[in-house]
Structures are given as C-alpha cells and as structure tokens.
Structure 1
C-alpha cells in the first residue's frame, strides 16, 4: 500500500483501498483519533504553550544584534 508522494493516482488508489477496508474505519481511525486527543488535550496545550512562547522569546532575544552604547 505504498505510493510515492508525487504519484497522485497511486495515492488516490491507496486512499480508496484504505477507506474500503472496514478494519481501517472501525479500528485504526478511532484509535488514531484517541491517540491525537490524548497527545493534544487541553492540559497538554496549556502546559506547552507558555514554554514554547518562552523558548521563542529567548531565541528571538539571542538573535537580536547587540546595541552599542
């Protein structure tokens, strides 16, 4: 079920085969959704956003040219 990223026809066929597979629809999609919800729940976002913002500010300040007095 492999398809090259630039082979659009093969990608479409692969997606059609996946959607026709009842196991994919019944088990894999719900499991992937639950996994994504577990990873990106609100608690996680609330914990990660301030750290990410702080890290970005630190990087931004490191990249500023030093001003001469």
Structure 2
C-alpha cells in the first residue's frame, strides 16, 4: 500500500483549507491556521492534527501501525 503524504487541513474555527505534506516518521501536534491564526491541536483520541482535521490520516495510521505518538 502506498502512503499518501499530502493532506488538506481544514480549520474548525474559520474553515480555511491548506494542503500540507505530512512527515513519515513524526506527528504534527500543533498547527497554526494560516487563515485565522488559531492554534490547532489533536482532538481527544487522535494522535495528530492530520488525524483530527485532515482529509487523510497520518502515515502511521494509514499503514495501520497505530499512532505516531
């Protein structure tokens, strides 16, 4: 299975969408929305902002290896 590295993050505050490249071997715990400046953090139970706000989960979750944290 090929892992997708691109994910579109959608800010829950302002709705701004931004395509980002996900790291293969690390999680992104915090993300500053370029639209409104809100600091996004993972929702409870999610390991990173891509799993919470992205259209594609992080690479470790895609590979069914669990969270990267």
* TM-score interval for Structure 1 and Structure 2 normalised by the shorter chain: under 0.3
More strand by share: 2
Q: TM-score, normalised by structure 2?
A: 0.19
Larger RCO (CA within 8 A; separation ≥ 6): 2
More helix by share: 1
Greater C-alpha radius of gyration: 1
